[in-house]
Amino acid sequence: MRVVVAEDLFLLRDGLVRMLEAYDFEVVAAVESGPELSKALAELEPDVAVVDVRLPPSFSDEGLQCALAARRARPLPVLVLSQHVEQLYARELLADGSGGIGYLLKDRVFDADQFIDAVRRVAAGGTAMDPQVISQLLDRRAQDRPLGRLTPRELEVMELMAEGRSNTAIAAQLFVTERAVAKHTSNIFGKLGLPPSDDNNRRVLAVLAYLDRG
C-alpha cells in the first residue's frame, strides 16, 4: 500500500515513515510543507495520505486544506493528525460523507497498533476518529436535536461507531451481543432520519448528523 506522509517535525516524520515501513507500507513521499504535499498527492496518487493539519508555510490548516483539495480531485483516503482537538477541522474533513477519512491526535501515534489500525481502516474506505474528538463533540451536542433523542447506550454505540469500529468490535467493547448492537445502530439511523441502505457510508452520515449541523 502506497502512502504519502506530511509532517513538518523531522523526528515525528521519520518515526511515522519507519513505523509504516515496519508494517509493510510503501512510503512513496515524506514531505514537510503544504506545497510539497499538494505536489506529491497530485503526481504520485498514493493509496492513502497521513497528514498533519498544520504545515508550513502558513502553519494554520494548510495540511488539511491540501488533503481536502486532493479529495475533490479523486477519492483519496486521508488520515489527519492534530496536536489538539479541533472540532471545525473534524467537521470539514467529514463534510462530503464519502468515507476514507480519519482524525487522530498525535499522542495516538505512539501506540503503533492503534495508529496502523487507523491507517488501514481509512485506506479501506472506513473512518477512524479519535475517541477524544468524538467525546468532546458528543458533549457539545448532547442536547441538540436530533442527537438529543438518543439514549445513553445509543450514544455509547454512536461514539464507537464514529471511531470506525465494526459491530463486532462495539459488542466486545460494551460486553453485549452483536444483535444488540445491530438493534442500537438501527435505532440510531432511524432517529437521525437515515433510511435503510446498502451503502456503508450511512455510518459516516450518522456521524455527520452531529458534526455538520448547527
Q: What is the pLDDT of residues 161-197, one digit of tens each?
A: 877 788 898 999 999 999 999 998 888 888 877 776 6
The reported pTM is 0.71
For Cα atoms 20, 26, 30, give the angle at the middle one, nearest 5 degrees.
75
**C-alpha cell of residue 74:** 479523486
For Cα atoms 46, 50, 51, give the angle at the middle one, nearest 5 degrees.
115
Higher pLDDT, 145 or 158: 158
Q: What is the pLDDT of residues 12-68, one digit of tens each?
A: 999 999 999 999 999 999 999 999 999 999 999 999 999 999 999 988 889 989 998
Q: What is the pLDDT of residues 89-108, one digit of tens each?
A: 766 777 766 678 888 999 88
pLDDT at 156 over 70: yes
Share of the chain above pLDDT 70, in %: 81
Specify the DSSP class assigned to residue 26.
E
pLDDT at 158: 83
pLDDT at 5 over 60: yes
pLDDT at 193: 74
Number of neighbours of residue 137 by Cβ within 10 angstroms: 21
Helix (H) and strand (E) counts in the chain: 10, 6
Query: Is the dihedral angle over the CA atoms 141, 143, 145, 149 positive or is it negative?
Result: positive
pLDDT at 206 over 90: no
